[in-house]
Structures are given as C-alpha cells and as structure tokens.
Chain A
Amino acid sequence: MNPDFFSLKVSEIRPEIKGKATSVTFDTPTNLAETFCWQAGQHVTLRFHFNEKEQRRSYTISNPPGAPLRITVKRVAGGLVSNHIGDHLKPGDMVDVMPPFGQFSLTPDPLKRRTHYFFGAGSGITPLFAMINAVLKEETHSVAHLIYGNADGESTIFGKELDKLKIEHAARFTLRHVLSAPSLWSWISPWRKGRVDAEAIKIAVTETPPVAQDVQYWICGPGAMNKDVSNALMALDVPANRIHMESFGGATMTASSVTGIAAKAQVNLGGSTYEVPVSADQTLLNAILAAGLTPPFSCQSGVCGACKARLTKGQVHMHARMALEDSDVTRGEILSCQSVATSDELSISFDN
C-alpha cells in the first residue's frame, strides 16, 4: 500500500438512518484511479486537523470495487471525527485520504464457486456490503447469505439497498435480519429476535446449507460479536482457515495493561538504519515517530496492518494483532503501533 495522503474532493454527502450515519463519496481523479483501487472489505484512512492536532481515522469502503469511492461513517457519541463528518462535511470539501488497505478483503473470482456466509452487526455491515456486492456482480457462480444484527429497523444501515439486492439476485442472495429491539411499525420484519448468537448461526446454516462446497465465513461486528460468532462456528467444526473477521469500531485496548521495558531499537527504514530509544510506556511506532522518522502507519489500533514491520531480534508484546494472521506472526511480523518492548535490545525492519 501507499502510505501517503492524497487530497480528494467530496462529491456527495448522504445521511443514512436519519442522520445517525453519513455516507461520503469522493471524486478520484483519473491519475489516482490506480492508487485508489480497492478490494471489497478494505479501508481508507482520513486525516483531519482540529486545533493544530492531527486526527486519523480508518473507515471501511462501503462500495464494491469499480463504483465511486464511498465510506459510511456512523456517529460515535462525543466522537470528534465522526460528528465532524456528520455535521460539517459538504460536497466540494477537500479531505486527506490515504489509499485503501486492509487484510479483511474478499477478492471475487469468476472461476470460483463458493458459498459465502456473512455475519454482521451495526456498522460492521460496511465491509460486508462491499463484499456482497462484489460477489453478486463478479463471482456469478457463487452464493451469499447475510445474517445481519441490529437494534431495530430504524438503525439498520443499507436496509433498502440490501432489499434491492435480494430482489435482483433472488437465486444467489439471502438476507436475514436479527433485531434485538424490533419496533412494531418497522418496515423490516426480523427473521429472529435477539442477537447473532450461536443458536441463530446454527439455524441459519441449517436453513440454507451450502450448495457450493467451497464455504467461507465473513464476520464483522462490534465488540464481542466476532469472538462469539467465530466460537459458534468452530463449535460446528468450521475450520479456522475458512473464517475471516474484523472487529469494528477500532479494537478495544483491553490487553494494554501489559507494559513494556525501556529498550534500544535498531530500525531499518527506507534503506537506512537508525538507533531509536524506546521508553517503557511507548509503542515502537510512537518511539520511531518521536525520533523524527516517517514510518508507515494508519489506524493506530491494530486493525489495518499499515505499520507492519519484521522483528529480527529481541521480543515485543502486542496489545492487539487483528491485522495479522497467525502465519504472519510466526514469520516474525509485528504491528509497530501495538508493540511494546519486552527485551532491551530490538531490531526491526520496515523494508522487505
């Protein structure tokens, strides 16, 4: 990926679910078309400056590849950036955007014949929506099943668009709403009441068992949902390598109670080697930034993988590692934004 920001013009702003979320569409000039190519499920990072302070946030691209670049941002109570986007951003504004990245992506393949199960909740729908569109348009022998959790019909993002897909692709797409607090008058009739839990998953799979036997499971929801859904799938003997997930709304920093130790790090970056001091409470990324270097990074929450480096000497602890596969970790890859030193001498490299 390209770790630089590009200034893009907002071409359309559309409130979703009564202004509780906002879809922002950007113009991508033709000379940047290649740079801003994406896979369904990937993100972009936006950069804003409020009172001299830089704020970066990553949002999932909610359009399938080939369509205009669009993100859908749900308001977070007290959230600096999400409310700025909802209240002030307007067509014509210029925003700094970093090209798409992310490991949670589905590459449609017209020669594949797969059954995709999507489990999403809340704004976790954004990457899944892009993936479902990509499968329906480009992987024409495959089937998509969405089990989608929300509080009620009113807070359901892309409800209308999903209904439309259901009609257009009746033979290849099924949609089941799970509502935790359905209102009587809603236009959405839930398939089940409650949450996307083990019971719902088991029933969903039994109702629509896979026909195409290359089966993939995609999970994206807030908080504990991912763990719950993947546990439920594993309890049905789904092999781990068929489950793909991403937690939404930033990884929670639960494990950050582990503190590091002060260390000296040797850093390979852009062909040069630097000596960087790391203090006990500093992530490697912060230490390297503090030393005046410009390593790649983006979400700073362990989700995007932009800050990936290879550890060649010493040990680190990672608070979160959502963006890495187990195999990456065995190869020595680390997320510098999530790593604190646990041995006093380290060598890491951003170059491959």
Chain B
Amino acid sequence: MTRMYHRLPVDAYTSQDWFEREQRQVFSRTWRYAGLAEDVPEPGHFVSIQAGLNNIFIVMGRDHRLRAFHNICRHRGTQLIRAVGKTQKALTCPYHDWTYDLEGNLISIPDEAKEYPNGVDKSCLGLKPASVDIWRGMLFVHPDPNPPSLVEWFGAVDPLLGPHKPEELVEYPDARQSYEIKANWKIVVENYIDVYHLSHLHSNTLHMYDHARAEYGWKGPHYHFWEPPAPDYAKDLEKNLPTPRAIPEPHIGAWVPMLFPGIGLGAGEDSWNIFIITPLGPDLTRVENRTKLANASGWEFQKQEWSSWSFWKDFGGPKYPDSDAISEDDPMASGDFTAEDIYACEQQQKSLTSPYFEVGPAANGESPVVRHQQAILDFLETQEAGT
C-alpha cells in the first residue's frame, strides 16, 4: 500500500521518479521567475536562466523590448551564452562560431561554402523562441512562444499581493543570498505556507505580526496571505519600522504569498523580499533571496533606525534558552527565523524515508499545506492530460 502524506504519496518527497516528473511537467511548463527587471538594464544585456529542463536566455533589443530564446545552438546544441553579459548586435556560439542576431536569426556560418557545398538554409536554423515578461518588477520566462499571458496566470491573485511597486524600490545587495536546504522543495513550500507553525517554531522571532488575525486563501494554484502587525508593534508603528516605509500609509501588515510553483514573496510596510524555491534533487532544494527597500536617503534610513531602536533592542531571541542549546550554532538558539525554518525542513525530510513514518492529522492552520499538495496533483493532471 502506498504510504501517504496527506494528499500526496510519501514517495513524492523522496523519489527520483517524482523529482523528474515534476521537473518535466511542472517546472518546464510554467512561467518561471528569472530575476529582477534591472538584471537586464539596457539594450544588448542578457541573462540566462534554468527553468526546469529548459535553459532560456533573455536579451534586450534596441527597441528596449526583451526577447527570450532557448539557449541551444541550432548546430549541435551547445549553450550559447553563459550567466550574464552584454553584446552589441550578435551572439556567437563558442563551438563553431555560428552567429545569431538578437532576433534569433542565424546570420552567419563560418566557411559556409566549403563546409556545406550543397548549401544550408539558414532561415530554418534560427534560435527557438521562448517568452518573457515583466511583472511586479520581476522577470518571468516561459518555454512556449505563445503561452497563456501573465494576466491569465497571476491576474486573480494579483490584487491580494500588497500595494508594493517593486520597480520603484531599490535592491539592498547585502540581503542577496542563495543557499541549499536538504529537503524536498515541497517541504520548503509547505513550511512557508504553514500558518500553524508561526506561533510555535517562531514563537520568539516573528511575533511583531499577529498570526491569529492572518487572512489567507487560494486563487487557483497561488496562495495569498496577509496578517496585521501585533498590538505592541502597531501602537507606534511608524516609529517602530526598522527602515523607511516602502509603501504609503495607511497600508499596514505583512503579505506573504506563495505563487506557483515555489515563488515566495514576503513584503511588509518597509521591505519587499523574494524567496525563490528551486528543486535540485528529490531531497535537495535551492532558495534564493533578494530584498528591496524604499528609495530613500541614507539619512532617512539612519533616522528610522534610531527611532525604532527602543522597540527592537529587547525584541525576540532564541526559541530555546542558551542552557538548552546543543551547541554554539544550534539553529534553535539562533534567534533567526530562517535558520529555524531550514532546521525544521531538514529534520522533517530525514523521517520521510523511515518505514515508521506516518503523518498525523492536519491542523486548521495547515490547510494550506494540504491545498498545495492538491494544487500539484491538479497541475500534473492537466499537463498529463494534454500530452
């Protein structure tokens, strides 16, 4: 009998088969986060991004419009470009120097007459087009040149994501990081959307927000979540914000949605953060974080830091007191909610391979966990019906 973990078989979190199936049917078939709009700032700039099985690159043309192509040389398939860079007018494959223009047309083949005495039809050998769009300051790519628009994909959830205009905020480079978690990507998502754990795992790190008054729900496969500041914090909110406001008054609270698949946002009164979850293997996941803050002067940041100091100086601390910590770097004594989450995910993953693992009943605050499992099943079903 298949062992189940709520809606999904436990296998879905541990097996190579499930990992490959999701890579093929989920991550290679949806709009995928590909960076911030400012990563491709000017004509000629490009970036490449792995989106499931597809490697797609984005380049800006002289008309300031972005183009996206599959990063595959039409000769023998070599990846054309690496990471990020800038070109003038053309992209040359390193292997045999086939050269493409920024519309993807193959414009030159070295030694064409000698190497292809019977001729070669360059017009059939253009780069394969993909799609790119910008939404809430983020780049998204889709492997299909004619995909459903982002309105169709995110339109319904869009109004529930907060009043932030990420394109008007500025990145705080020190907060940019990427790390690996030894757990299946769905474990990481479930942790992100588990409302139940907020007051427990993070009893001493996230209590400036009032989890009891959280409002959350789903629009299709996308999860939305908002909670107000806790009374203590709200009492003098403008003074207590650690950095200048990133959204205008009177908006308050924290918006923490999880868009499908694995695109977490976390935005409050004074910041906007992304939390991108990428599966690397059945039990290995990469998370990338980037943060944007108000476009304010250093002086304004300084003033806000001073005014909020009295609130934050005694705020929070480790979940377990020092005496209970098992070592110097025990995440449970870190006072850092991210470390707490990573720890919980990895500890949970360890048990999934045990023959004795048996899931307990889902609490109310865990309904999003179950709903996300259903979203995966639904998405797989439509994709697999289509093929």
A contact residues vs B (CB 8 Å cutoff): 110-113, 141, 205-206, 209-215, 233, 236-239
B64:A212 contact, CB within 8 angstroms: no
A236 touches B62 (CB 8 A): yes
8 Å CB contacts to A: which residues of B101-133? 102-103, 131-133
Task: Find chain A residues with CB under 8 A from B151 CB.
Answer: 110-113, 141
Please tell me if the beta carbons of B134 and A212 are within 8 angstroms of each other in the complex: yes
Taking a contact as CB atoms under 8 Å apart, the answer to whether B65 and A213 are in contact is yes
A213 touches B149 (CB 8 A): no
Do residues B62 and A113 form an inter-chain contact, with CB atoms below 8 A? no
Question: Of B63, B103, B133, B152, which contacts A233 at CB under 8 A?
Answer: B63
Specify which of A111, A237, A239 is in contact with B152 (CB 8 Å cutoff): A111
Determine whether the beta carbon of A237 is less than 8 Å from that of B149.
Answer: no
Instruction: Give the most central of B37, B102, B133: most A CB within 10 Å.
Output: B133
Contacts of A111 in B (CB 8 A): 149, 151-152, 155
What distance in Å separates the Cβ of A338 from its nearest Cβ neighbour in chain B?
31
A239 touches B150 (CB 8 A): no
Binding site for A on B (CB under 8 A): 37, 61-66, 102-103, 131-134, 149-152, 155, 167
A210 touching B65, Cβ below 8 Å: yes
Report A198 CB to chain B, min CB distance, Å: 12
Which chain B residue has the least Cβ–Cβ distance from A112? B149
B37 contacts across to A, CB distance below 8 A: 211
A210 and B103 in contact, given A111-B151, A112-B149 (Cβ under 8 angstroms): no
Question: How far is B61's CA from A238's CA once the two chains are assembled, in angstroms?
Answer: 8
CB atoms of A237 and B61 under 8 A apart: yes
Query: A-B pairs with the 3 shortest C-beta distances?
Result: A209-B64, A236-B63, A236-B62
> Which of B64, B131, B152 is in CB contact (< 8 Å) with A206?
B64
Q: What is the CA–CA distance of A34 and B61 in the complex, to the nearest angstrom?
A: 43
How far is it, in angstroms, between the C-alpha of A86 and the C-alpha of B64 when the chains are bound? 43
Contacts of B150 in A (CB 8 A): 113
C-alpha gap A209/B167 in the complex (Å): 13
Q: How many A-B residue pairs have CB under 8 A?
A: 47
Contacts of B167 in A (CB 8 A): 211
Given contacts A113-B151, A141-B151, contact A213 B63 (CB under 8 A): no
Which of A205, A213, A214, A237 has its CB near the most chain B CB atoms (within 10 A)?
A213
List of B residues within 8 angstroms of A233 by Cβ: 63
Contact B133 A213 (CB under 8 A): yes
Residues of chain B within 8 A (CB-CB) of A236 are 61-63
Residues of chain A within 8 A of B102, CB atoms compared: 237
B149 proximity list for chain A (CB < 8 A)? 111-113, 214
**B265 smallest CB distance to A (angstroms):** 18
CA distance A215 to B131 in the complex (A): 13
In whole angstroms, what is the CA distance A209 to B43 when docked?
A: 11
The answer for the CA separation of A239 and B134 in the assembled complex, in Å, is: 20
Residues of B near A214 (CB, < 8 A) are 133, 149
Q: A112-B149, A113-B150 are in contact. Are A237 and B134 (CB under 8 A)?
A: no
Q: Which residues of A contact B134 (CB under 8 A)?
A: 211-213
Q: Are B133 and A237 in contact (CB under 8 A)?
A: no
B-chain residues with CB within 8 Å of residue A112 when the two chains form the complex: 149, 151
Can you pick out 19 interface pairs between chain A and chain B where the beta carbons lie within 8 Å of each other? A111-B151, A111-B152, A112-B149, A112-B151, A113-B149, A210-B64, A210-B65, A211-B37, A211-B134, A212-B133, A212-B134, A213-B65, A213-B134, A233-B63, A237-B61, A237-B63, A237-B102, A238-B63, A238-B65
Taking CB atoms, residues of chain A closer than 8 Å to B132 are 213
CA–CA, A205 to B42, complex, Å?
12
Nearest CB in chain B to that of A117: its residue? B63
Question: Shortest CB–CB separation between residue B141 and chain A, in angstroms?
Answer: 10
Alpha-carbon gap, A237 to B132, bound state (A): 17
Q: With A and B bound together, what is the CA distance between A90 and B167 in angstroms?
A: 51
* Residues A237 and B66 in contact in the complex (CB < 8 Å), given A111-B149, A111-B152, A113-B150: no
- Once the chains are docked, how many angstroms separate the CA of A110 from the CA of B149? 10
A142 to chain B, nearest CB (A): 9
A113 CA / B151 CA spacing, docked (Å): 6
**Shortest Cβ gap from A8 to chain B (Å):** 37
* Contact (Cβ within 8 A) A237 B64: no
Residue of B nearest to A139 (CB): B151
The reply to whether B155 and A141 contact each other, CB–CB distance below 8 Å, is: yes
Instruction: A113-B151, A236-B62 given; name 11 further pairs at CB < 8 Å.
Output: A113-B133, A113-B149, A113-B150, A141-B155, A209-B64, A210-B65, A211-B134, A213-B65, A214-B133, A237-B62, A238-B63
Residues of A within 8 A of B131 (CB): 213
- Cβ of A237: which chain B residues have Cβ within 8 Å of it? 61-63, 102-103
The reply to whether A215 and B152 contact each other, CB–CB distance below 8 Å, is: no
Contact A213 B64, CB 8 Å, known A111-B152, A113-B133? no
User: Judging by beta carbons under 8 Å apart, are B66 and A213 in contact?
Assistant: yes
